[in-house]
Amino acid sequence: MPLFTSRHVLDQLPLIPLRASSVSTLHSAAAYRTELLQHIAGARHRIYLCSLYLQHDEAGAEILAALHAAKALRPALDIRVLVDWHRAQRGLIGEAKQAGKQAGNAGWYQDQARSQATEVPIYGVPVQTRELFGVLHLKGFVIDDLVIYSGASLNNVYLHKQDKYRHDRYLLLHNKVLADSMVQFIREHILGAAAVHKLDTPHIPSTRSMRREIHEFREQLKRARYDVLSSSPNTPQLSVTPLVGVGKNNPLNRVICQLLAASQEQITICTPYFNFPLAVTREINRALKRGVNIDIIVGDKTANDFYIPPEQNFKVIGALPYLYETNLRRFAKAHQAELGTQLNLHLWKDGDNTYHLKGLWVDRHIMLLTGNNLNPRAFRLDLENALLIQDPEQELAVQRQEELRHIFQHTRPIAHYSAIEKTSDYPAAVRRLLGRLSRTRMDRLAYRVL
C-alpha cells in the first residue's frame, strides 16, 4: 500500500532521485566540524554557506580561516556566506558590550576583510525589520555538488570546538541537482535582493533606511520556491525534495502537516523547544486517534540553550526553558491515558551539553531534515527550509536506525506527567516571572515569538 494517496499534496512534489551510496549520516558535532573543514579545504568550484550566524569565537574563526585558505588555493572559487542581518549586528544574549568595539560579529567580519589578502563575502539577510519578528533560518551548505545539511550554526558549541557541544542532526548528500537548486535559490531570491547587503564592508546601511526594501523582500520570499528542473516523475524510489517557506500557511508548513496527516503506523518528532503550533497539535491528536504510535524527543530544560542554572544570576531569557517545560507537562497530562504506550515522551540530557535536534520520521518511509523548530515562530515568522527524503524501499533504513539510536541513548522516558516538574518546583525568580507573564497574558505572546 503506498504511503501517500492522490489526496495528498505530497504527490505533487518534485522528486530528485538519490542513490543510497550518496547519502551519509554523521552522529556528533565533532565529526560534523571535521567533515565540514575537510570539504572546505577540498572545494574546487563553489562554497555556499547559509547559517543563522558565524560567530566570532574559535570555531567561527577556524571556519573563516578555512574559507580564506580555500580561496587562496583556488582564486576562482565562488564563495558566499549568508547570515541573519540582525543576529550578526548584536552580541550574544546577556553579553555586555565591550567599549570601543562594534557590537556583534559584523565588526569582526570587517576586520577580517581588511586583514586578509583574499575575499570571502559575508552577506546579511534581513527577513524582517526586527529580529523578534523573523530571521534567516535557512539551513544547508553547498560545497561543489555536496549538500551538508544540519540545524547547527557556526560557533564553538555547535561545532564542539571546546568542552561542550550542542547536539543536532548532520546529513551529507552528494547530488548535483539538489546542490544546484539550493545555489540557484540563493542567487535568484536572496543575493539579488535590494535588502541584502555585505556585512564585511565598513559602510553598512541602517535597518531603518531599508524598511521598504525589507518588506518587499519578505513578500518576494513568500513566493520563492526551489527550482528543481531535472526532477524525475513521481515514481516510487529513493528521492529528496527541497522545501522552503516563510509566513503563515506556507508550503513547508503544509507539507509538515500533510506528513503527520498521512501517517499510518509511526511518527518520531524531534524538537528542542516544546511549543507546537495548533496545526501540528491537531494532527498529532488525530494520529493518536487513528492508532499511530508517536515518539516525541525533546530536550530536558537543563539541555536548553537558554537554561541558566539556579546558582547563577537570573535573566528574563532564562525563563524560556521553564515555559517550554510547562507546555510539556500540560501536554503530558492531557495525554496521560496514551503515555507510555501509544505515546512516548523522551527527555534528552547529556551532562552539561545542549540539544538542538529537529525533524520528523514517518512510517519508516519518510524523513524530514529541517531547521524548523515546529513552533509558532517557525510556522509564522522565520524563513525556513527542509529536505524531505522519501525512501519507499527503505534503502536508508540502517542509517535511520543508527541515527535514532545515537539520539535515544541520552534520553529517558516520561511514564507519567507528574514526573515533570511543576511551577511550584521552580526557583523563586522563575516563579515570580511566570506569574507576572500569566497574569498579563504575556506568556501567550512569548509562545508565539520566542
286 to each of 74, 234, 259, 332, 361, how far by Cα in Å? Answer: 54, 27, 12, 16, 17
Q: In this predicted model, which residue has the larger pLDDT, 314 or 243?
A: 243
Q: What is the pTM of this model?
A: 0.94
Smallest CA-to-CA distance from 248 within 279, 224, 216 is with 279
For this structure, is 365 an active site residue? no
DSSP for 164-183 reads --EE--EEEEE-HHHHHHHH
Residue 88 belongs to a domain: yes
Catalytic-labelled residue, pool 39, 86, 137, 189: 137
280 with 408, same domain? yes
185 to each of 81, 141, 221, how far by Cα in Å? Answer: 14, 13, 10
The residue to which cell 508550503 is assigned: 251
| Structural domain that includes position 156 | 20-223
pLDDT at 104: 87
Confidence of residue 131 (pLDDT cuts 50, 70, 90): very high
171 with 316, same domain? no
Please check the confidence at residue 220 and state whether its pLDDT lies above 90. yes
Where helices occur in 199-311 by DSSP H, the ranges are: 211-223, 251-262, 278-290
- Which helix (DSSP H) or strand (DSSP E) does residue 73 occupy? helix 58-73
Residue 229 belongs to a domain: no
- What is the greatest pairwise CA distance in the chain? 66
Q: Are 163 and 75 in contact (CB under 8 A)?
A: no
Catalytic-labelled residue, pool 180, 325, 384, 443: 384
For this structure, is 95 an active site residue? no
Q: In this predicted model, which residue has the larger pLDDT, 389 or 101?
A: 389
pLDDT at 438: 79
Catalytic-labelled residue, pool 84, 145, 168, 382: 168
Confidence of residue 99 (pLDDT cuts 50, 70, 90): very low
Q: Which of 191, 223, 255 is the last residue of a domain?
A: 223
pLDDT at 436: 86
31 with 177, same domain? yes
Q: Which three three-digit cell numbers place residue 358?
A: 529537529
218 with 289, same domain? no
Mean pLDDT of the chain, nearest integer: 92
- pLDDT digit string (tens) for 330-387? 999 999 999 999 999 999 999 999 999 999 999 999 999 999 999 999 999 999 999 9
Q: Classify strands 343-348 and 411-414 as parallel, antiparallel or unpaired.
A: antiparallel
Q: What is the mean pLDDT of residues 11-26?
A: 94
Q: Give percent above pLDDT 70 in the chain.
A: 92
Q: Are 61 and 90 in contact (CB under 8 A)?
A: no
Backbone torsion region of residue 84, taken as left when φ is above 0, otherwise alpha when ψ lies between -120 and 50, otherwise beta: beta
pLDDT at 236: 76
- pLDDT digit string (tens) for 103-120? 589 999 999 999 999 999
54 to each of 58, 125, 189, how far by Cα in Å? Answer: 11, 13, 21
357 with 219, same domain? no
CB neighbours of residue 202 within 10 Å? 8
Q: Which three three-digit cell numbers place residue 6?
A: 492522490
Q: In this predicted model, which residue has the larger pLDDT, 102 or 135?
A: 135
- pLDDT digit string (tens) for 49-62? 999 999 999 999 99
pLDDT at 94: 46
- Which helix (DSSP H) or strand (DSSP E) does residue 364 occupy? none
295 with 434, same domain? yes
For this structure, is 189 an active site residue? no
For 13, the 3-state DSSP assignment is coil
187 to each of 143, 151, 250, 289, how far by Cα in Å? Answer: 15, 21, 21, 45
254 with 302, same domain? yes
Q: Which three three-digit cell numbers place residue 241?
A: 525534495
Cα–Cα distance measured from residue 193 to residue 222, given in angstroms and rounded to the nearest whole number: 14
For this structure, is 144 an active site residue? no
CATH number at residue 75: 3.30.870.10
Confidence of residue 91 (pLDDT cuts 50, 70, 90): low
Q: Which three three-digit cell numbers place residue 107?
A: 565588526
Catalytic-labelled residue, pool 356, 365, 382, 410: 356
Residue 78 belongs to a domain: yes
- pLDDT digit string (tens) for 291-323? 999 999 999 999 999 999 999 998 888 999 999
Please check the confidence at residue 271 and state whether its pLDDT lies above 60. yes
34 with 76, same domain? yes
Q: What is the mean pLDDT of residues 200-213?
A: 96
Q: Number of structural domains, the chain?
A: 2
